[in-house]
């Protein structure tokens, strides 16, 4: 397979559980770049907590953030494409205001949440930008929402089905996320492939979560991490090792990097 581009998920793929890029993964990515392969980050994270890792890898390619709801210029960070989700906010907050679940709103101008937690504290540390609002979201003023994250702390939730008629819902073990209809990492990848004139057949995608399923199943080769669920692995062409065992680098070293030995 002639690989011209690779799109890499971050959490559970590129990063360790301590949010670090291992030396082996870093070196494998540099080898790809030196070989002429364009490397992109494709993540559910917002721009502010994607950019530090993008910079640390010296990448100049655009970043796909918030499951494809935004694409950011790799040099300036400016959003070059955004796709807001339209939702009945009054209904959402009425349903969740007295519930123990947390509601996190990823808007174009920052983060709004019902309450803070360790995850949001880590995001603040990484991006150096705190949430714009924490508290009763019925009293918050925000617009241009790109993604809603509902943390129910359980796999299935009655809430997720209530909004499936107006949004694309991604179910996780601890809740669900909502983006605009037709938004996904793969739809954002298609936008970039057209811009770079790269065929989907020349693309490798790597990920571990339900938000990676489309890009794993539709790229030239989709690679699931060893820590992915059985469902996600079934949608991929190849399964590599666990993200804590440098599964990303393992695949790159064994299947992508060409040998220059004479």
Q: What is the pLDDT of residues 50-108, one digit of tens each?
A: 999 999 999 999 999 999 999 999 999 999 999 999 998 888 888 887 778 899 999 99
Flag whether 261 is in a domain.
no
- 62 and 114 inside one domain: no
Domain membership of residue 262 (yes or no) is: no
We report the CATH number of the domain holding residue 41 as 3.40.50.1000
On average, the pLDDT of the chain sits at 94
CA distance 256 to 6: 10
How sure is the predictor about 262, in pLDDT bands with cuts at 50, 70 and 90?
Answer: very low
Domain that holds residue 43: 5-82+183-255
Q: Which of 210, 214, 197, 172 is nearest to 222 (CA)?
A: 214
Residues 52 and 123 in one domain: no
- With bands split at pLDDT 50, 70 and 90, how would you rate the model's confidence at 122? very high
Of 154, 179, 204, which marks where a domain is finished? Answer: 179
- Per-residue model confidence as pLDDT tens digits over 190-228: 999 999 999 999 999 999 999 999 999 999 999 999 999
**Once rounded to an integer, what is the mean pLDDT over residues 225-250?**
98
pLDDT for 53: 98
List, in order, residues 6 or more apart from 212 with CB less than 8 Å away.
9, 13, 185, 205, 224, 228, 232
**Structural domain contains residue 223:** yes
pLDDT at 261 over 60: no
Q: What is the pLDDT of residue 161?
A: 84
| Spatial distance between the Cα atoms of 69 and 146, rounded to a whole number of angstroms | 6
Residues 65 and 102 both lie in one domain = no
Which of these three, 179, 201, 233, is where a domain ends?
179
CATH number assigned to the domain comprising residue 164: 3.30.1240.10
User: Which pTM was predicted?
Assistant: 0.94
Would you state the pLDDT for residue 39?
A: 98
Record the tokens describing residue 64, joined without a space. Answer: 């796909």
Q: What per-residue confidence (pLDDT) applies to 152?
A: 87
pLDDT tier for residue 157 given thresholds of 50, 70 and 90: low
Residues 175 and 201 in one domain: no
| Residue that is last in its domain, among 132, 147, 179 | 179
For 41, 51, 121, 155, 234, the CA distances from 19, given in Å and listed in that order, are 15, 13, 13, 23, 26
């Amino acid at each position: 397979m002639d690989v011209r581009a690779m799109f890499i998920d971050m959490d559970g793929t590129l990063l360790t559980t301590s949010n670090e890029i291992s030396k082996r993964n870093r070196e494998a990515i540099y080898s790809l770049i030196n070989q002429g392969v364009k490397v992109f980050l494709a993540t559910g994270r917002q721009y502010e907590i994607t950019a530090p890792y993008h910079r640390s890898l010296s990448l100049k390619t655009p970043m796909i953030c918030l499951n494809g709801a935004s694409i950011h210029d790799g040099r300036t960070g400016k959003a070059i494409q955004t796709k807001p989700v339209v939702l009945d906010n009054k209904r959402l907050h009425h349903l969740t205001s007295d519930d123990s679940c947390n509601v996190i709103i990823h808007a174009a101008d920052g983060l709004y949440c019902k309450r803070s937690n360790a995850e949001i504290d880590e995001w603040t540390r990484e991006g150096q930008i705190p949430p714009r609002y924490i508290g009763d979201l019925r009293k918050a003023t925000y617009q241009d929402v790109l993604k809603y994250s509902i943390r129910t702390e359980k796999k299935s939730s009655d809430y997720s089905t209530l909004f499936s008629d107006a949004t694309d819902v991604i179910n996780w073990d601890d809740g669900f996320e909502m983006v605009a209809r037709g938004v996904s990492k793969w739809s954002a990848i298609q936008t970039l492939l057209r811009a770079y004139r790269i065929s989907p057949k020349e693309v490798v995608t790597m990920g571990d979560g339900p938000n990676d399923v489309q890009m794993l199943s539709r790229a030239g080769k989709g690679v699931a991490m060893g820590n992915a669920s059985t469902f996600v692995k079934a949608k991929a062409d190849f399964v590599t090792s666990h993200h804590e065992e440098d599964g990303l680098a393992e695949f790159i070293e064994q299947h992508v990097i060409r040998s220059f030995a004479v």
